[in-house]
Structure 1
Amino acid sequence: MTGQTEVDIPETGAIFTFGRSSFADNMPSKFWLKNDHPVHISCGGEHTAVITENGRVLMFGGNTWGQLGLGFKPATRKPASVKALKSEVMKLVACGRDHTIVCTWQGGVYGAGSNQEGQLGLGHNNSNTASFHLLRPFCDHSPIRLLSAGCNTSAALTEDGRLFMWGDNSVGQIGLGDEGLAAEPREVNVGEAVIWVSCGYHHSAFVTVDGGLYTFGESANGRLGLQVEQLADHRVPQRVRGILGRVIQVSCGGEHTAVLTEENVYTFGRGQYGQLGQGTFLFEVDLPKPLEHFPNCSIRHIACGENHTALITHTGLLYTFGDGRHGKLGLAEENFTNQFSPTLCTRFLKYNVQSVSCGHNHMLVLAAPRPPESQGVVPEKDITISDDFLESSYTETLLLDTLTDPTTLLPLSAFAESSVELFGEMFQNLPRLTSGFLNSSWKKSRNVLTPKTLPQDITTPSSSPRPLSDITLSPPFSLGSLSKPSRSPAQSSKPSSPHSQSSNQNKSSRSTSSKSKSKEFHSSLLSPKSMTKRNSDILVSTKIASAKKALNNKMSYPPKEQYTTTHLRERERLVSSQTGILNLILTVPSCSQC
C-alpha cells in the first residue's frame, strides 16, 4: 500500500472506504496496492474482502466469528493476505454478516466464520471456523459465475445457470420449502437458467435468463414485492409481477430490495431510512415501485446494504441514499444525515466508479481516475436537482442581508467549514423558539398591536420596555391638553355636597388618568419612532420579495424543450418550499428589545 495523496492514485484505481471502517471510524479513507490492483470487493456485517488481479485475497475488519480466515485474533485494521489460500488463485468472494465464502478459478469453494446455521456448507452446523475450509464439490466442476452471502445463508451460481444455496431456511430464505436448514449446498429447482442471485438478511432473490425476478423468504415490510395472494407460499421462489422490462440485476438488503431493469430501477420493502429512494414519507412499499430520479439515465450496477443503497451509472457516477449514519453514504465529511432520494457523490466526479459494495455500517467503492480530457465533466442527463440545492436555497434565504448580489449556491456545511464565526452568528441572530412559537394562529408579527388587543391597564406597548417619558408624542395630542379633565354638562349643572364633590373629583381624576394613558399609547403608534418601525417591516417584506425573485431566477434548469414531468414537479416543489420558508420569516416575532 502507498500514500494517501490524491495525485498518487494509480490509473488502475483505488479502494475508498466510508462509514464505520477499520481505518478510521466515520472518516473516509482510501488505499491501493503496488504491482497489483483490486478487481472484486465485498462488504459483510463488520468485515471486508478484496480480490486482486493476481488472485490474492485481502481481508480486514471485524473477526468476532473468525470470518477473516486469519485465526481467532482481534479485528485487523489493515488489509491482510490470507496465507492459507496463497497456493490458490482466487476468483470471487462474498461476505455475509458473520461469514465469508470464496471460490477459485478451478471451481473450488472455501468458507470461514460463523457456521451456526450451516452457512459454510461444511456438512454440519456445530462449530465455527477461523480458517478457510474447502467445501465438497457440488457443481460437477462447472465454473462458478457468482457468489452471494446473507445473514446465515450462502449461494453459488454456475456458468450454466444452475443455482445452489445452503444455510438457514427458517423462513424459506434458501427456497427449500419446509426444511429448517441445509448444511451442504443444495440445488434450487427453478425450471430455467439463472443469471443473477442475491441473499439478504432473511430473504433472497434471483433473476432468470428471460428477465424474470423471483423472491422468497421473510415477507414482512413488503421486501418480497409479491401480491397478497402470493404471500402464503413465501417459502418457495415466486415470480414478482408489476415490473416493466427485462430484469438484469437484483440486490437484497436488510429489509429491502432493489431491482435493475434495462430501463429503470425498482425498489420495495422497508424504507424508514430512505433506502428505497422514494421520498421522505414513504416508509414501506409492498410492490415494486420505479425510481423517478433516473427517467433518462442508464444504471449499470446496484448494491444494497442493511439500510442503504448505491447505484452506478454507465458514465461511472455514484449515487447513494438511505441511512447516513457514520458517513457511509460517501457524501460530505460532515453529512451523516439520511438521504431519501438518490444523491450524487460529488467526490467521485473526477473518478470512474467501477464497483461498489454496501455492508452493515460501511461502504466500499472501487474507482479509477478519469482521463484528463474528461475529468470533472458530468453528462447533462445525469444532472438532477439534489438535496444540496435545496439546502443551499435555504441558506441564502436565511442570509437575506447579503442577498443583494447572490453568489454561488453553497450548502450549510460549506459555510460552517469556511467561516465558523459567520455560521455561528447567522444562527445566533435567529429568534428564540419560545413557547407558542409555532402556533398556527399567528398570521402576522406580534410587534404590531391594535387597540382591540391592547389591555386597558398598561402604559406602554408590551413589545417595548422603554418608559413613557421616552415616547415622543405627535400632534394633535399634547401633555397640556391631556392634563385637563373634561366634565359632561350634566355633571356641571348638578348641585353636590362637599363630600360628593370630593368623591366626583377623585373619580374624574382616575378617569382622566386612564384616558390620558390610552391617548398617550395611541399617539405613540403614530409617533415618528413607531412609524419608523412599521416602515422597516415594509422594507423587510420588499427585500424578502426581491430575495425570492433572485432565488427563482438563479435555478438552473434544462431548456424548455427538454423539460420532463420530473423537472416540472421538482420546480413546483422548490418554489413552494421557498415560499414556506419566506412566510415563516415574515411571521417570526422580533426580539422584545429591538
Structure 2
Amino acid sequence: MRDPNAGGYNEAVCCGGQDYSSPALLPPFADGKVVTISAGFAHSGAITDSAKLYMWGDNTNGQLGLLTVDTKPSHIPKSVMPSIHFALLACGRGFTLAVTQSGKTYAWGANMHGQLGMGDMAPRSNPQLITRLNGHKMVRVTAGGGSAIVVTEMGELFGWGRNNVGQLGIPRSKSPKVIPEFILSSHDSSAIDQVVAGGYAYQYEGHSMVLTSSGEVHSWGWNAFGQLGIGEVDEGHSIPHKNSWLLKTRVKMIAAGQFASAAVTEAGEVLTWGQNDAGQLGRGDFTSGPVDIPQRIHLEGAILQVTIGYSHMLALSVEGKVYSWGHNFYGQLGVGDHKDKATAQGVSYLQEERIKQVVAGQYHSLAVSVKGELYGWGYNRDYELGVGDNMDRVLPQVVPTLTGHKVATVAAGGYHSLAVCEDGMLYSWGMNNYGQLGHRERSTSKVPTAVTVTTSLADGKQVGKRLRLKQVAAGTWHSLALAEDNHVYAFGRCQHGQLGVRCQKGGERVQDVFLPERVSDHLEDKKVVSIAAGAAHSFALVEVKVK
C-alpha cells in the first residue's frame, strides 16, 4: 500500500534499504494488522488495529521518533511510544504528526519552518505534544513539505509551518507560523447567499466570489488585475480569501467579470475593483490600474444589482432604472454611440420601462422589464440579441419572438443567451458551436428557440414529461439550467469538466453535450437553490439542514 499523496525515494525503507520498482511485502507486524499508513519523502509509518505506531526509513531529522539521538535510518518498522494508542498518522518531508485515540496531537522531526507547532524552529527526535491544541480533539491530520493542517471534531481548521505561498489558507507570509493558527470553522461560518464566477475569453483565467449571509465576501482564482480585491496583485489564489476591505460594509450582492469585480451594499452603494483600461470601474478615468481594493463609485439613487461583461458594467436601481459604463465598442452600453464611458450613464431608451433584471454577456447586454419584455443591445455578430439579424445595436431593442411570453429571468454567455419565461419554458439563441443552446443540431439560432428539458434525459423513467425551469446560467461555451425539481441540467462544451457530467462515450472523450443532461454525481440527493457559470467552471449552491 502507498499514500497517494506521498512522493520521495526508498532509501532505508525496508528489506535491506534497496530501492524497488514494484511493491515489496513487509514482514507481519507483531501487534496486529495494519489499518493506517502514511509515507513521507523518505520515511514511512503505520498504525495497527491494536493502535500501535511503527516507523521506518530515513531518520536524518529524528522523524522516526525513536527516543534516541541516533539518526541512523531504520530498515525495519520500529515501535514508537508503545504505551500510547494512536489513531491518525501523517508523514511530511522530514517530520511526523500522530494523533492519539483521545485526539491529542504529537509532532517530531525537522522543524526549520516551525512545522512541529512548538513555538520555535528547533528539531525534535522525541515525540512532543502540541500543547497549543490542548482542548481540541483532532479527527484529520495532514503534513506537507513544511506545513501541517489539522481538523477538529468541531469542524475547526488549524494550520502551522511554512506559508510563503499561502499554503495554510491564510494570507501568505515570509515568516513561518510556528504555532497552530485558527483558519476557519464550518460551524461559525455563515451560510452562502450568492456565488458568482467571472471570466469570458480566457477560460483558464477566471475568478470566483461568494457572499455569506453575514455580508462577508470571499474570493479566489485569477488575480493579475487585483480582481480579488484583497489588496494585492499576483497570479491568483486557489484558496478563498476573505475581503477584509469590505468587512465594515454590509454587502448584499456581488458580481464578477473578466478583469473586474463589484459589490452592492445594503445602502445601495456600488464598489468596484480590478482592471480599468476601458473605464469599467466607473471611477471617472481610464487609468488601467490595477485597483486591488474595493472603491466606491457614484451613481444616482440606490442600486439593487450590478452585472459585469468582458469590460463593461450594468447597474439596476431600486426604481428600475438602468445605468452602464466601460467598454462600448459594440454599443453594449446602450447609450446610442460607440464611445467608452468612465462614469455611469443612464440608459435613457429604457427610461419609460421599469426593469427588474439586467445581465451582461461578453460584449452584449440584456434587460427584462417587470412586464416580462426582453431587451437586447451591443454585439450581435452571432445573433446573441435574438432580434433576427446579426447587426450590432447601440440602443436597446425588444426581442420580438418573446413578446407576450413574459420573460422571468435571463442569462448572457460568451456569444449566446438564455431566457426562462413565467411558464417555466427555456429559450436559447446565438452561437451554438459546442451545443450551448441545448438543441440537437450545431447550427446558430437567430431568434429565441424553445428548449425542452425532460426527465427522460435524466433517468428515462418519465419519458416526455417536460420540466419547468426557474433559473439559468451561461458560461463562455456552456449553459446550466435549474429545474423546479431542484435538479441541475447542463449542456455545451465539456472540455474542462464545466458541465459536471460524464463527457465520455465508448471510452472516447466527448467534449460537447447537445441536449440538457442532468448533473447527477454528488448532486443527486441535494436540493440545489442556485447556480452560477464562469468561463469554464460552474457552481451550485445547495440547501444544508443544520442539525
Mapped to 2, the partners of 1:97 and 1:148 lie a distance apart of: 11
From 259, 272, 289, give the equivalent of 2:419: 259
Root mean square deviation, CA, Å: 2.7
Q: Residues 91 and 327 of structure 1: is their aligned pair in 2 closer, same or farther, counting only changes over 3 Å?
A: same
Mapped to 2, the partners of 1:111 and 1:39 lie a distance apart of: 20
Where relative contact order (Cα < 8 A, 6+ residues apart) is larger, the structure is: 1
Return the structure number with greater helix share.
1
Instruction: List structure 1 segments (4+ residues) > 4 angstroms apart after TM superposition.
Output: 333-336, 369-372
Residues 126-165 of structure 1 correspond to what in structure 2 (within 5 A)?
A: 126-140=287-301, 142=302, 144-165=303-324
Return the structure number with greater strand share.
2
Residues 55-454 of structure 1 correspond to what in structure 2 (within 5 A)?
A: 55-70=215-230, 71-140=232-301, 142=302, 144-189=303-348, 190=350, 191-228=352-389, 234-243=393-402, 245-263=405-423, 264-279=425-440, 281-294=441-454, 296-332=466-502, 337-347=511-521, 348-369=523-544
Q: Secondary structure of 2:395's partner? A: coil
Q: Residues 370 and 258 of structure 1: is their aligned pair in 2 closer, same or farther, counting only changes over 3 Å?
A: farther
Query: Residue in 2 aligned with 1:49?
Result: 209
Indicate conservation of the 8 Å contact 2:476/2:534, yes or no: yes
AA aligned to 2:536 is N
Mapped to 2, the partners of 1:227 and 1:284 lie a distance apart of: 11
Indicate conservation of the 8 Å contact 2:273/2:293, yes or no: yes
Q: Residues 336 and 363 of structure 1: is their aligned pair in 2 closer, same or farther, counting only changes over 3 Å?
A: farther
Mapped to 2, the partners of 1:175 and 1:106 lie a distance apart of: 26
Query: Residue in 2 aligned with 1:429?
Result: none
Structure 1 window deviating more from structure 2 (362-371 vs 316-325): it is 362-371
Mapped to 2, the partners of 1:238 and 1:337 lie a distance apart of: 34
Mapped to 2, the partners of 1:300 and 1:272 lie a distance apart of: 25
Tell me how far 1:99 sits from its aligned partner: 0.6
Indicate conservation of the 8 Å contact 1:200/1:254, yes or no: yes
Indicate conservation of the 8 Å contact 1:350/1:370, yes or no: no
Mapped to 1, the partners of 2:502 and 2:396 lie a distance apart of: 40
Mapped to 1, the partners of 2:185 and 2:513 lie a distance apart of: 29
Mapped to 1, the partners of 2:197 and 2:276 lie a distance apart of: 18
Q: What is the TM-score of this pair, normalised by structure 2?
A: 0.60
Indicate conservation of the 8 Å contact 1:196/1:207, yes or no: yes
Residues 236-258 of structure 1, C-alpha deviations (whole Å, 9 max, x = no match): 10000112510011111000000
Mapped to 2, the partners of 1:169 and 1:252 lie a distance apart of: 17
Q: Residues 309 and 371 of structure 1: is their aligned pair in 2 closer, same or farther, counting only changes over 3 Å?
A: farther
Indicate conservation of the 8 Å contact 1:203/1:216, yes or no: yes
Tell me how far 1:132 sits from its aligned partner: 2.8
Q: Secondary structure of 2:496's partner? A: helix
Query: Residue in 2 aligned with 1:39?
Result: 193
Q: Secondary structure of 1:235's partner? A: strand
Q: Residues 133 and 79 of structure 1: is their aligned pair in 2 closer, same or farther, counting only changes over 3 Å?
A: closer
Q: Residues 266 and 32 of structure 1: is their aligned pair in 2 closer, same or farther, counting only changes over 3 Å?
A: farther
Tell me how far 1:365 sits from its aligned partner: 1.4
Indicate conservation of the 8 Å contact 2:330/2:338, yes or no: no
* Structure 1 residues without counterparts, runs of 5 or longer: 11-21, 24-30, 373-594
Looking at CA atoms only, which structure, 1 or 2, has the larger radius of gyration?
A: 1
Indicate conservation of the 8 Å contact 1:120/1:167, yes or no: yes
Indicate conservation of the 8 Å contact 2:195/2:209, yes or no: yes
Residues 510-536 of structure 1, C-alpha deviations (whole Å, 9 max, x = no match): xxxxxxxxxxxxxxxxxxxxxxxxxxx
AA aligned to 1:181 is D
% identical equivalent positions = 27
Residues 190-235 of structure 1, C-alpha deviations (whole Å, 9 max, x = no match): 021000110000111000111100001111111111134xx65711
